[in-house]
């Protein structure tokens, strides 16, 4: 990395640190002192007002990047007049629109999962990283056999280790896409979960929340809660 790029990287890191610590409160040179001095040192021709403008723009860009949006998602009869997204549509759109990665958990998986399975395989063939966490893989062998055949660099399957408590289970129903969209629901990957039952969940647009969920599963793998198949 060239010296100029290193200098800019240091400024960016300093700005992010101070924005996360102070936000937009008490915006002055004392609060963002390190950022101010870093910018002044790198760009000595800038006036004080111009440096303040740069910091303000950095704050606006940061807030735009980390802004969060939450929407309700339901499985319910069409007669329900609720202002909410439909579970089956959200699940298919999340998978079909994924560009980089998909993290998916499955507690109850039925033959109805076959269509989603094909979508996941298609994504993995196109270079999208797919991580599937299942509860009791052996009990779902028939539905998941095809996935196991294609597992590899872009498709990983993890099975939940029950340990001493045979009643314990992976009961979370979660989809995380591209490190930004997180869907958390009561719905299983089955016909009744996606179409027939009364189910409720939320779709969260947040880099931070998605990162938190991904980190949780990473820790669970490290602690051998899941076994990679």
Per-residue pLDDT tens digits for 12-62: 888 888 887 776 555 566 778 888 899 998 899 998 888 888 888 888 887
Domain ranges of the chain: 3-66, 69-228
Fold of 69-228: Endonuclease; Chain A (3.30.870)
Structure tokens at 112: 């109805």
Q: Would you please indicate which residues are annotated as catalytic (active-site) residues?
A: 171, 173, 178
DSSP 15-54: HHHHHHHHTTTT-STTTTHHHHHHHHHH-TTS-HHHHHHH
pLDDT tens for residues 48-86?
888 888 888 888 887 766 666 888 998 887 777 778 888
Query: What is d(CA 57, CA 18) in angstroms, rounded to the nearest whole number?
Result: 14
- 0.85 cut: is pTM over it? no
Token pair in block for residue 77: 């009869």
Which residue has tokens 């269509």? 115
């Amino acid at each position: 990395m060239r010296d100029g790029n290193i200098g800019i990287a240091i400024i960016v890191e300093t700005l992010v640190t101070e924005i996360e610590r102070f936000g937009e409160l008490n915006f002055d040179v004392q609060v963002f002192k390190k950022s101010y001095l870093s910018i002044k040192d790198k760009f000595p021709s800038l006036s004080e007002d111009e440096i303040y403008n740069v910091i303000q723009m950095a704050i606006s860009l940061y807030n735009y990047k980390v802004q969060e949006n939450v929407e309700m998602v339901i499985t319910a009869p069409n007669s329900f007049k609720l202002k909410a997204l439909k579970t089956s549509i959200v699940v298919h759109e999340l998978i079909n629109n994924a560009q980089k990665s998909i993290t998916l958990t499955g507690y109850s998986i039925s033959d109805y999962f076959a269509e989603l399975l094909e979508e996941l395989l298609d994504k993995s063939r196109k270079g999208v990283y797919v991580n599937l966490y299942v509860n009791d893989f052996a009990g779902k062998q028939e539905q998941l056999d095809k996935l196991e055949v294609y597992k590899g660099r872009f498709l990983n399957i993890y099975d939940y280790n029950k340990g001493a408590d045979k009643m314990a289970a992976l009961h979370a129903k979660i989809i995380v896409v591209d490190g930004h969209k997180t869907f958390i629901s009561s719905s299983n990957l089955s016909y009744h979960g996606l179409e027939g039952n009364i189910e409720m969940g939320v779709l969260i647009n947040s880099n931070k929340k998605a990162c938190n969920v991904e980190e949780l599963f990473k820790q669970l793998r490290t602690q051998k809660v899941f076994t990679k198949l």
